[in-house]
Amino acid sequence: MQNEAIYSDLIKVLLTREDVNKLLWEIGVLRESLFKTDAGAFANILKSQVRKQVADVIEKYISAGDRVALLDFLEEKFKETPDIKLTLAFDPTQETIQKVSKWVKMSVGDVLIDYKVDRSIIGGAIVEYGGKIGDFSVKKLLS
């Protein structure tokens, strides 16, 4: 139950595949800290090398006894979280990513946005999810 709760809290702040790739790196650094002789290594790494919003969630749930199991769970769960691929003609702002993520999560559930920029589509977007592609680009309309 605790594992699902931490995942649920983290998926709210991790919106893109890039965000999750950073999380996986942070998990690796935290895992390495567990094998250091310094008793406070984990806490120090959590505060100094993990993004604050992620560190706050981890601190809320993690205890000394289950750190490895929880980190393993998060790593596997986020690797399994599906992506919705989004091709845009522009670099999206963080606000745009948040709005799209909110809409996507309300529509299809917990997914991550894996976006790329392709200026040749001129405008609109190309969306790939669940083996289907929707081309809503201006380029398609003009061809």
The domains of the chain are located at 2-80, 83-142
Judge residue 105's burial from the number of C-beta atoms within 10 Å of its C-beta, 0-12 exposed, 13-18 middle, 19 or more buried.
Answer: middle
Non-local (6+) Cβ contacts of 96 within 8 A are none
111, 81 in Cβ contact below 8 A?
yes
Per-residue pLDDT of the chain (143 residues; tens, 9 = 90+): 688 999 999 999 999 999 999 999 999 999 999 888 888 899 999 999 999 999 999 999 887 668 889 999 999 999 999 999 999 999 999 999 999 999 999 999 999 999 999 999 999 999 999 999 999 999 999 98
Structure tokens at 5: 């709760």
Write the CB contacts of 23 (distance below 8 Å, at least 6 apart in sequence). 10, 14, 54, 74, 78
Q: For residues 39 and 1, what is the distance between their CA atoms, to the nearest angstrom?
A: 28
> What's the pTM?
0.88
pLDDT at 16: 96
Please tell me the distance from the alpha carbon of residue 7 to that of residue 10, in angstroms, as a whole number: 5
Asked if 51 contacts 38 with a C-beta cutoff of 8 angstroms, the reply is no
